[in-house]
Chain A
Amino acid sequence: MKANFKYNLAWLGVMVLGFVIIDACEFLGIINTFIENMLVTMGINIILATGLNLIIGFSGQFSLGHAGFMAIGAYATGIITQNIATPLGFYLSMGVGIIIAMIAALIVGIPTLRLRGDYLAIATMGAAEIIRILINNFKITNGAAGLFNIPPLVTWVTVYVLMCLTTIITVNFIHSRNGRAIMSVREDEIAAEAMGINTTRWKLAAFVFGAGTAAIGGSLHAAYIQTIAPGDFNIMASIAILIIVVLGGVGSITGTFVAAMVLGALDTILQNFGTLRMIIYALALILIMIFKPAGLLGNWEFSFKRLSRRLRKESAIHE
């Protein structure tokens, strides 16, 4: 904990720097509404994909149901903030969304996490569809029409801060004793069990944690976009998040950041191309997968710890 504190502080510095830069650009008018929109989408995607990467990359469970948990967060915020239109209402709604999403993940996870690979993917996809269809048919969620006029309680600052928070919490979780337990289950379930690790419990822990972060992403999405409908959370939405994880590198949070930014920028640039956009986007994905099959960064992770170890080694050589 103490050793990690230093590196967390370094990351905090990076985050503050990032904030200052964006804020300065905003002040100077370099960032217009269009670009701000792009940045916020990137931030929300980073939150969603980081949680999914924890499930897929670190616990090794293939989930295709991330949009379902995102929908829970989005609707919690949509419904609650329409009644309590204050920032407090927003954070309350986010908390409610996280809790409901985690409970849903528990209910889904207990029977399905015994399954492996493709089977688990299909089961989680089914679970997300159930969530979407429930939302489609409830009165409180306004059915297929969805919710609109959700109070705009979120600015890019909220998204940025929450992105930093969820990332710090997720990365620390991964590097904790709990994270090692989760990774050991991914690496070798038999050995993990032999070490006395309750494999089902740790798979469930990663799944529930990931669902919680998906709900945060959903809450931010609802409050920023101000309109949500069940169709926003279909299987394609889950796949869009999956693409970020796979493209960045399964098991690399740094990769998730890079992929979310690259894809976000690509998507924005291609808007000028009209209908050609989706073709070029898809082509770019195919090319990246051909030339970088392990994702842009593989499972490489930028780490201040390793950097400082290397610098110390080098300075030792020079002396």
Chain B
Amino acid sequence: MLEVKDLVVNYGAIQAIKKVNFTINTGEIVTLIGANGAGKSTILKTISGIMRPVSGQVIYLDQPIQTKAVPKIVRAGISQVPEGRHIFPGLSVQENLQMGAFLRKDHQNINQTYADVYQYFPVLKQRRHQDAATLSGGEQQMLAMGRALMAKPKLMLLDEPSMGLAPIFINEIFDIIQAINAAGTTVLLIEQNANKALAIADRGYVLASGEVKLSGTGQELLANQAVQRAYLGG
């Protein structure tokens, strides 16, 4: 579904991504793990069109998209849950969700998507008229995910969904990621919480200093000695 080929991205003068290659097949959960500054978020921003690569390609459904504008990429079915949630605090929960569906043309189906999102996250339905700022951290993460789902993505990009959350919320969030995936959405999951991410991922890539150091299935990487030493505290 998505193929990243020889991707090079600069962050100012620094080369943040050095010739990265990876693929995501339809229906998979793929995770990119790595320490702070490994370049995980940069890759995600490049896929979603917010950052531009110096060279290399991002091929989505057989089309190169690395030069396309963000709205075109969103419309093509890639939606993202940004790092740090970035909800719209002064808008109501429902308005936040509405913004996720901003580019959709099939207005008659949007109500169905609301129902789907409220099924994943019943708490959002209870709070739909509240300002998003009044939600707890975990609820805000759910809102950010719900908002991304409102675009009816084929591929959902999640940037550090577990960041700053209580363990009980982390478990819930990861369960829901699996449920969303089971319902047919391909997922690219970026995480520092390597344990959790690899446990639900079909495949994973380990990133360090802008390069892919290791790749394999989630289980393989979980069992890998080097990964354990570096990321799993083993």
Q: Which residues of A line the B interface, CB within 8 A?
A: 177, 180-181, 183-184, 186-188, 190-198, 299
Contact (Cβ within 8 A) B102 A191: no
User: How close is B94's CB to chain A, nearest CB, in angstroms?
Assistant: 11
Contact (Cβ within 8 A) B102 A194: no
Note all chain B residues with C-beta closer than 8 A to A188.
86-89
What sequence of 0s and 1s flags, for each residue 78-98 of chain B, a beta carbon within 8 Å of any chain A beta carbon? 011010001111110001001
Question: Which of the residues A184, A187, A190 comes within 8 Å of B82, measured between beta carbons?
Answer: A190
B146 contacts the other chain (CB 8 A): no
Note all chain B residues with C-beta closer than 8 A to A196.
70-71, 73-75, 102-103, 151
Note all chain B residues with C-beta closer than 8 A to A181.
99, 102
B48 contacts the other chain (CB 8 A): yes
Note all chain B residues with C-beta closer than 8 A to A180.
91, 95, 98-99, 102
Note all chain A residues with C-beta closer than 8 A to B87.
188, 191
Note all chain B residues with C-beta closer than 8 A to A184.
88, 91, 99, 102
B218 contacts the other chain (CB 8 A): no
A198–B50 Cα distance when bound, in Å, is 11
11 A-B interface contacts by CB (under 8 A): A177-B102, A183-B88, A183-B90, A187-B88, A191-B82, A192-B88, A194-B80, A195-B99, A195-B100, A196-B70, A196-B71
A188–B96 Cα distance when bound, in Å, is 11
User: How close is A164's CB to chain B, nearest CB, in angstroms?
Assistant: 26
If A180-B95, A180-B98, A187-B91 touch, does A194 touch B71 (CB 8 Å cutoff)? no
What sequence of 0s and 1s flags, for each residue 7-38 of chain B, a beta carbon within 8 Å of any chain A beta carbon? 00000000000000000000000000000000
B147 contacts the other chain (CB 8 A): yes
Contact (Cβ within 8 A) A190 B86: yes
A184–B71 Cα distance when bound, in Å, is 15
Most chain B beta-carbon neighbours within 10 Å: one of A177, A186, A191, A197:
A191
A299–B89 Cα distance when bound, in Å, is 14
For B, the interface residue count at a CB cutoff of 8 angstroms equals 25
User: How close is A54's CB to chain B, nearest CB, in angstroms?
Assistant: 15
Return the chain A residue nearest B157 by Cβ. Answer: A194
A187–B90 Cα distance when bound, in Å, is 7
Q: Is the interface of A mostly helix, strand, loop or mixed?
A: helix
Contact (Cβ within 8 A) B50 A194: yes
User: How close is B95's CB to chain A, nearest CB, in angstroms?
Assistant: 6
Note all chain A residues with C-beta closer than 8 A to B71.
196-198
User: How close is B65's CB to chain A, nearest CB, in angstroms?
Assistant: 13
Most chain A beta-carbon neighbours within 10 Å: one of B69, B79, B99, B151:
B99
Within 92-151 of B, Cβ neighbours of A (below 8 Å) are at 95, 98-100, 102-103, 147, 151
Question: Which of the residues B73, B74, B89, B98 comes within 8 Å of A187, measured between beta carbons?
Answer: B89
A194–B148 Cα distance when bound, in Å, is 9
Closest 3 CB pairs of A and B: A196-B74, A187-B88, A191-B86
Note all chain A residues with C-beta closer than 8 A to B80.
194
Return the chain A residue nearest B82 by Cβ. Answer: A194
User: How close is B163's CB to chain A, nearest CB, in angstroms?
Assistant: 15
Q: A184-B88, A196-B102 are in contact. List 19 more A-B contacts (CB 8 A).
A: A180-B95, A180-B98, A181-B102, A187-B88, A187-B89, A188-B87, A188-B88, A188-B89, A190-B86, A191-B87, A191-B99, A195-B74, A195-B79, A195-B99, A195-B102, A196-B73, A197-B71, A197-B102, A198-B70
Return the chain B residue nearest A185 by Cβ. Answer: B88
Most chain A beta-carbon neighbours within 10 Å: one of B74, B75, B88, B103:
B88
User: How close is B126's CB to chain A, nearest CB, in angstroms?
Assistant: 15
A191–B90 Cα distance when bound, in Å, is 13
What sequence of 0s and 1s flags, for each residue 40-73 of chain B, a beta carbon within 8 Å of any chain A beta carbon? 0000000010100000000000000000011101
